[in-house]
Amino acid sequence: MPKKRRRKEDRTITKCLFPAAGYGTRFLPATKATPKEMLPILTKPLIQYGVEEAVEAGIHTMAIVTGRGKRAIEDHFDRSYELEHQIKGTSKEPLMNEVRSLITQCTFSYTRQVEMKGLGHAILTGETLIGSEPFAVLLADDLCTNGADSVLKQMIEVYEKYQCSVVAIEEVSMDQTDKYGVIAGNLIDGTDDTYRVTDMVEKPAPKDAPTNMAIIGRYILTPDIFDILRETKPGKGGEIQITDALLDQAKQGKVIAYKFKGKRFDCGSVDGFVEATNYFYEKSKREN
Ligand code: UTP
């Protein structure tokens, strides 16, 4: 039986913000003139996987924070009449079906981060597209996959229960903590995957890390985060960090960390990118 579609007014999270302004220096020279988010895993750019995950979670309004040299993202989520005319009726036409369907189902709006002052600053730049409602944030270089519900969909369920900001976490090996925001928290009674966050540290050295529970690139944020970000001073690396702003909410007991079900690939690193490529290649072989 087809799933009953929720009415628009029933949905709590209707917008997804994609901070996509970073330089992607780990992928130079590939990212010199091509946005990191457009690098493909097989034939699909990273950001398309992200948009598909958002759609799977019931979100159809995509808000993308871009920067210089990122126009290819806008072109990707637009019709390409000349190309479509060229391949019409050929065996290649179905290759465009997925992206065409996204263009039909979703609206895409863009704003530019003029100076790359960090993820927190990129999220604040997105305020103009989000307004004053809770919203999802998806970092497209963290590619997530799950057989059943997408990670974002799982997180929206958590948000609906606790009505505060939610971060997705994963246990990493202790020598990796300096690559992530790391949380400490107390398991909420009756759950084995949901924590009330008590502390958060951005990229701590292993000896300073409160735990090995690392935040990955999926967030649900309440809109008060914008006022907090406006006041947040540059932190680690001289950048405005979302982790620092979230700590402010956590001190009021208003951040939940959720250990998601599924698999994540860190496609912002060459190792993770290759791992994802192999995984999706094997998967496609099995399916065809
Ligand atoms: P990263 O830390 O992966 O930085 O950003 P990066 O520039 O993309 O990549 P490297 O480290 O130079 O290889 C995490 C996410 O935050 C966004 C990035 O686009 C990425 O999605 N971001 C980061 C911004 O949008 N603006 C910023 O100022 C910084």
Contact 35, 64 (CB under 8 A): no
Query: Using a 6 Å cutoff on CB, does residue 22 contact ligand 1?
Result: yes
User: CA-CA distance, 28 to 26, in Å (whole number)?
Assistant: 6
Query: From ligand 1's centre to the CA of 210, what distance in Å?
Result: 24
Which of 120, 137, 111 has the alpha carbon at shortest distance from 237?
120
Residue 107 in any domain: the answer is yes
Answer whether residue 6 shows pLDDT above 80: no
Residue 5 in any domain: the answer is no
70-89 pLDDT tens trace: 899 999 999 988 998 999 99
Q: DSSP secondary-structure letter at 26?
A: G
Instruction: Enter the pTM of the model.
Output: 0.94
Nearest atom (ligand 1) to Cα of 18: 21
Averaged pLDDT, 195-202? 97
Residue 146 in any domain: the answer is yes
Please classify residue 202 by burial: count the beta carbons closer than 10 Å to its beta carbon, then call 0-12 exposed, 13-18 middle and 19+ buried: buried
Averaged pLDDT, 218-235? 97
Nearest atom (ligand 1) to Cα of 23: 7
- What's the CATH code of the domain at 106? 3.90.550.10
Residue 2 in any domain: the answer is no
The pLDDT value recorded for residue 9 is 46
Residue 252 in any domain: the answer is yes
Residue nearest to atom 22 of ligand 1 (CA): 22
- For residue 157, what are the domain limits? 12-287
Query: From ligand 1's centre to the CA of 3, what distance in Å?
Result: 36
What is the end-to-end Cα distance of the chain in Å, rounded? 25
User: CA-CA distance, 91 to 227, in Å (whole number)?
Assistant: 51
Averaged pLDDT, 194-217? 97
